[in-house]
Each structure stands twice: as C-alpha cells, then as structure tokens.
A and B are shown apart, each in its own frame.
Chain A
Amino acid sequence: MEHLRITVDGKAYEVVVEKIETAGSSASHTPAAAPVRAAAPAASAPAPAPTPAPKAAAEGDMVSPLAGIVQAIAVQVGTQVNEGDLVITLEAMKMYTPVNATASGTIKAIHVKTGDAVEEGQPLFTIN
C-alpha cells in the first residue's frame, strides 16, 4: 500500500495505490494515473494446472475403451473374475459402457474410483 500525490493539469490528487501480485503478470510500480503506456504482461496467462497424466498401461492392465465417467465398480481387489465378467461400468455419451475382464484371474488393483473421469487408454484395473 502506497500513498501517492499526483498532479494532473496543475491540480494535486492524493491517492492510495495497492499493488496486487498475480502470478505471471508484472505489476508495474508506475503510478496509476501517469500517462505511460501500460506494460504488456510479461508472460502469457498462466497455463492451467496440468491434469495428472494417466499412468501408462502395464502388463495385465485393462484400459478404458473411451473417455467417460466411472459409474460403478463391480469388483474389489482380490475378487476372482472369469473372462467376460463385468468389472467396471463407464458412462459416456448418454450410455453405459461395460468394461469386462479380458482374462480370468484375480483383481490385483483398481486404479479408479466411482465418479472419476477417465481418458481413453487409461488403465482401469489390473488382473493377475
């Protein structure tokens, strides 16, 4: 906070100037009313926080066939599944898309939870 006196056309004004720090913008100390060209922002608008990149699919991972929301998870870690059993239901494009086990085995890990938004190709669960 700075108190400044500014004279415009011979008339003095007392003003209070508050400096607001924002990331990426270069706050100028030039008094507000001074007839100078506003400094262009030094940096472009801050980039949106990057969404955490889905981890790459590994051996035994079953990946999402399309982008959508996890609507229901039918199994728990340790559940025995047979090939073709329903494991996760996704909701995308007004539809439920079943994601079934592609092999028989034990669910070793579930990488998502109900309500998560998933990308195409993102690992959903791992079968042992």
Chain B
Amino acid sequence: MAIDPKLLEALKHRREEALIGGGIDRIEKRHDKGLLSARERLAAFFDGGLFIEFGMHAHHSCTNFGLEKRKMPGDGVVCATGYVRGRPVAAFAQDFTVGGGAVGRIHAKKICDLLDFAIKAGIPVVGINDSGGARIQEGIDALSGYGQIFFRNVLASGVIPQISIIAGPCAGGAAYSPALTDFIIMTRQNANMFICGPDVIKAATGQSASLDQFASAEAHASVSGNIHLIAEDDEHAVELAKRLLDYLPSNNLGDPPCKMNNDIPLDEDPGMNEIIPADPKLPLDMQQVIDRLVDPGSWFEIQPDYAPNMLTGFAKLEGLVIGIIANQPKVKAGCIDIDSSDKAARFIRVCNIYSIPVLSLVDVPGFMPGLAQERGGIIRHGAKMLFAWASGTVPKITLICRKAYGGAYLAMCSSDMGADFVFAWPTAEIAVMGAQGAMKVLYKKEIQEAEDPEALEKELRKAYSEKFASPYQAASNGMITDVIDPAVSRSTLALAFRGIIAKHETRPPKKHGNIPL
C-alpha cells in the first residue's frame, strides 16, 4: 500500500522546475555580474542556508496579452521563514530571472501572506527587492497588489522589525514599500531606486539627470537620506541585515537580544580626558568618545553618510543594547539642522518602538542659523526631535560633554524632555545662549554708552561665561543628576542604564500623537 512512486516523481519534477526560477542561463548571467539568485540570497541570509518556502508552486492567473502561455515559477518571488543566529525570521526575495521580478497579483499576495504570517508570529521580516516594477499585463491588479503590500507594511510598522534590501531596480510604486519599513540597505552597484527615472524627468522638466545623481546607493545614503546602509554586494547586504537583527527584538513586546554582563567594572578611563581639547573652540571628536564608551566592536552606525553632524547608531554597553544619538562637532560645528533633526528623530522613535534605551551625547552650539534652514522649516523639523524624546518611554540618559545651548540643549533631551539621568562633564556649558549673543541682549545699552565699550564687553562676557559656561548653574537648579569626571563615564552610564532598564511609563490613551511631519 505504499505511495505511488509516480506522485513523488511528479513532485520532484515540479520542485526542480520551481527551484531554477527563470532558468540556469539567467542565473549564470547573474553570477557573471557578481549577483546572487533570489534563492541564493535567502540561503546566504538564513542559518545553514535552510528555509521553509511558502508558495513554491504559486503561479499567476493572468490571461492578458498572451501571458497564459508564459510560465512564471513562484510568480517571481521566493517567500520563506528560517532562522538567523537561532531566531526565527521571515524573508522574501524577488526573483529577477522570472519575468523581471515584476509584481503581479499572486506575487503581491505571496508577500502579503508572508507579512501577515510574520505579524502573527511576531518575527522580523526582511525583503530583498529586485524587480522591474508592476507587471503591466495584469493592469490594476498589479497596482492593487502594491497597495495591499503597503497596507501590511504599515500594519507591521511598530510591531515587528522590517528591513528592506534594495539589490536591483526598485522604481516607481515599488520604492514605497521599502520606504515604509524601518531600515533600508542598498547594494552599491546594480541597484537603483527612484520614483521617476531620467527619461521621465527629461520629458517633464527638461532636466538631464543620471541615475548616479539621484537613484544610486551613494545618492540615497548621503543626499536624500532615503536609505540607512550601503552594502558592497549581495552577501554584504544580508550580513548587514543580520547585524541589524543582532540589536533588535523579534517584536515590540520583546527585549533586544542581549546578554548583559554580570559585572560592571568600575575602571577609570583616563584616555577619555586626553581627547577633550582644552580650547572650547576646538571640536571634540564625538566618534572617539563613542568608541571609548561602548563595548569594543559593538558600535553600529546607522545612516553614517547622511547629516554627519549628528551620529546615530546602535551599540552595547556592558552587554546591554543601547541606541546613541550624538552631536558631531567636527562637522558643521555640531549644529542641529533640518537633515540631522529628521535623522535623529526617526532613530529615537525606532529605539522607542523596540525597547532600546537611548543615550544622548551632547556637544551642540545651537540650531543651524541661515535663510535656507529657516525657509526649509527648521522649526517643524527640529520639533520632531522634541516630539520623539518627549513621547519616548524607553530609558533615556543624557551626557552633556561640552556645549548645550538654547533650544538645541532641549532637542538633545534635557531632564525637562524626560531624561531619566543627566550627567555632565566639568567642561559642560549649559546656557540659554552663547556669551557673545547674550551680551547684545543683556547689556546692549551699557556697552554702547561705556567709555571703553570693548573693555566693558570683555569684562561682562567673562562674568557671563564663568556663571553659565559651566555645568554648575544647571546642577544647582536640579537639572543635572551629577557632574562626573569624564574618565568614569563608561562605568557611570553602564550602572545608570542597568538601574533604569525596568522603567515602565504610561501615557494618556490616544490614537496617536501629532508629530510635526
């Protein structure tokens, strides 16, 4: 009564057909270009190259324009679940060898079903995008497919981490699914992402623009800020996705996957004092501060090429996963501008969603002055940071290294904005405005009428600086937890984070706040 061997033979045949997608020739062409096939990408991503595939035998149902005669194995997308460093994760990879990876009704349904599954299971989703766009033959069924994917991206947002890899073309509506996810990784070569291509731009506006200028990984990483990380090739892209998952919980109800160290050493780091320039006008390299603060090798910078006057990234501190927002005074004096506000606000919110405590490292002379900034809406953009901090309920710790002036001080999370601990170095300057500007407001008349205006201004400025260009005015008003020796920063922060890790804060119930977008 054994199973008819013909059935097994037929199954084997069908699987073999599905597994080669668009055919050996096309896969080999990809290999020649240094690209992996969709299944090879998933195999590189999942532990042991193993995954359970969803919908291997799916096929389109379109009969327009002779499409009924065209075979499209898996309908151009491979959907699967597997394990990444031991944790279950869902992933899909569009198969460019099958009809150019174009999105039709069944293709979209497979992605939607995978997203639904991931939400239900509470596991992250990684999408590898490599598609020519909508399958035109399917008409608005293809368009509707995109809409259904977007809807699920939004349902999943804030519940499970969503990571997009752009490893080929990603044009028009297709670009909006990655845009709705938490992180976008893009390969340096062979990938581009845009809404309107060079031909459409030329026809509509007369402007000549090359893909390199606006659609490449480099352009998106540094100019538009649409992506978070650049990968050198396909393997590197999946490695980066795995590294991101190392810092993220499986869903919004879990904790980040970290092994906290049992002991927190109280060793001092005199080297921290060495890197602080004596002249307050010489920039402190915040990258060096971070390197000394966090566990070696754990700093994972996010959006390193965009608005580099603000550093954002994940790290571990004595094993605990934290997010870091830091001014970088080496670039644009560390001023907060429109782009750095957007970058920081989004990162704070990512940390808040996934229960990642946040460290703010402050050395900021103020918001960036200028016509372009004012006209560009620095008020609205800067407000995003305020909104993100105040609405965030994860543990928040602020370390004021040097300058903390005016509104920018609040935008870096002062105690008023909900910081649980605020530490300051003795080099901290916490004031409503700089001495030079303050003189013009406070003593304009006195200085004008003085016999020697320069001498008087110098004297008054010195008195102002002594009073306000220090952490002690703020400390005496109860705005600072403690003024610390920079050498004990690492141990102080590690102890403070460990002490606040179980923080639980509730807010008035509402649909959602109205962040100034």
Tell whether A94 is near chain B: CB-to-CB under 8 Å: yes
Question: For window 342-384 of chain B, which residues contact chain A by CB distance below 8 Å?
Answer: 365-366, 368-370, 372
Tell whether A98 is near chain B: CB-to-CB under 8 Å: yes
Are A94 and B403 in contact, CB atoms less than 8 angstroms apart?
yes
Are A95 and B365 in contact, CB atoms less than 8 angstroms apart?
yes
Are B329 and A95 in contact, CB atoms less than 8 angstroms apart?
yes
Are B369 and A67 in contact, CB atoms less than 8 angstroms apart?
yes
- Determine the chain A residues whose CB is within 8 A of the CB of B403 once the complex forms: 94-95
Are B281 and A96 in contact, CB atoms less than 8 angstroms apart?
yes
A95 touches which of B283, B369, B370 (Cβ 8 Å): B283
Nearest chain B residue, comparing its CB with the CB of A120: B370
Report B242-284 CB contacts with A as 1/0, cut-off 8 Å. 0000000000000000000000000000000000000011110
A97 to B329, CA, bound (A): 8
CB distance from A41 to the nearest CB of B (A): 27
Are A67 and B283 in contact, CB atoms less than 8 angstroms apart?
no
A120 to B338, CA, bound (A): 15
A94 and B280 in contact, given A65-B331, A66-B333, A66-B335 (Cβ under 8 angstroms): yes
A67 to B368, CA, bound (A): 10
Interface size class of A (residues with CB under 8 A): 10 to 19
Tell whether B14 is near chain A: CB-to-CB under 8 Å: no
Report A62-85 CB contacts with B as 1/0, cut-off 8 Å. 000111100000000000000000
Are B365 and A93 in contact, CB atoms less than 8 angstroms apart?
yes
A93 to B370, CA, bound (A): 12
CB distance from A97 to the nearest CB of B (A): 5
- Determine the chain B residues whose CB is within 8 A of the CB of A66 once the complex forms: 332-333, 335, 368
CB distance from B468 to the nearest CB of A (A): 13
Report B320-334 CB contacts with A as 1/0, cut-off 8 Å. 000000000111111
Count, chain B residues at interface, CB 8 A: 21
Are B282 and A96 in contact, CB atoms less than 8 angstroms apart?
yes
Are B370 and A94 in contact, CB atoms less than 8 angstroms apart?
no
Nearest chain A residue, comparing its CB with the CB of B282: A96
Report A82-111 CB contacts with B as 1/0, cut-off 8 Å. 000000000111111110000000000000
Nearest chain A residue, comparing its CB with the CB of B277: A96
Tell whether B133 is near chain A: CB-to-CB under 8 Å: no
A97 to B366, CA, bound (A): 15
Are B332 and A96 in contact, CB atoms less than 8 angstroms apart?
no
CB distance from B334 to the nearest CB of A (A): 7
A85 to B405, CA, bound (A): 30
Report B434-446 CB contacts with A as 1/0, cut-off 8 Å. 1010000000000
- Determine the chain B residues whose CB is within 8 A of the CB of A67 once the complex forms: 369-370
Are B365 and A94 in contact, CB atoms less than 8 angstroms apart?
yes
Are B283 and A93 in contact, CB atoms less than 8 angstroms apart?
no
Are B366 and A93 in contact, CB atoms less than 8 angstroms apart?
yes
CB distance from A94 to the nearest CB of B (A): 5
- Determine the chain B residues whose CB is within 8 A of the CB of A91 once the complex forms: 281
A72 to B82, CA, bound (A): 58
A96 and B335 in contact, given A67-B369, A67-B370, A120-B370 (Cβ under 8 angstroms): no
A65 to B334, CA, bound (A): 12
A65 to B337, CA, bound (A): 13
Nearest chain A residue, comparing its CB with the CB of B331: A65
- Determine the chain A residues whose CB is within 8 A of the CB of B436 once the complex forms: 94
A93 and B333 in contact, given A67-B369, A67-B370, A120-B370 (Cβ under 8 angstroms): yes
Binding site for B on A (CB under 8 A): 65-68, 91-98, 120
Q: A67-B369, A96-B282, A97-B330 are in contact. List 13 more A-B contacts (CB 8 A).
A: A66-B368, A68-B333, A91-B281, A93-B333, A93-B369, A94-B281, A94-B333, A94-B436, A95-B283, A95-B329, A96-B281, A97-B331, A120-B372
* 10 examples of A-B residue contacts, CB within 8 angstroms: A66-B332, A66-B333, A93-B335, A93-B368, A93-B369, A95-B281, A95-B365, A95-B403, A98-B330, A120-B372
Binding site for A on B (CB under 8 A): 280-283, 329-335, 365-366, 368-370, 372, 403, 405, 434, 436
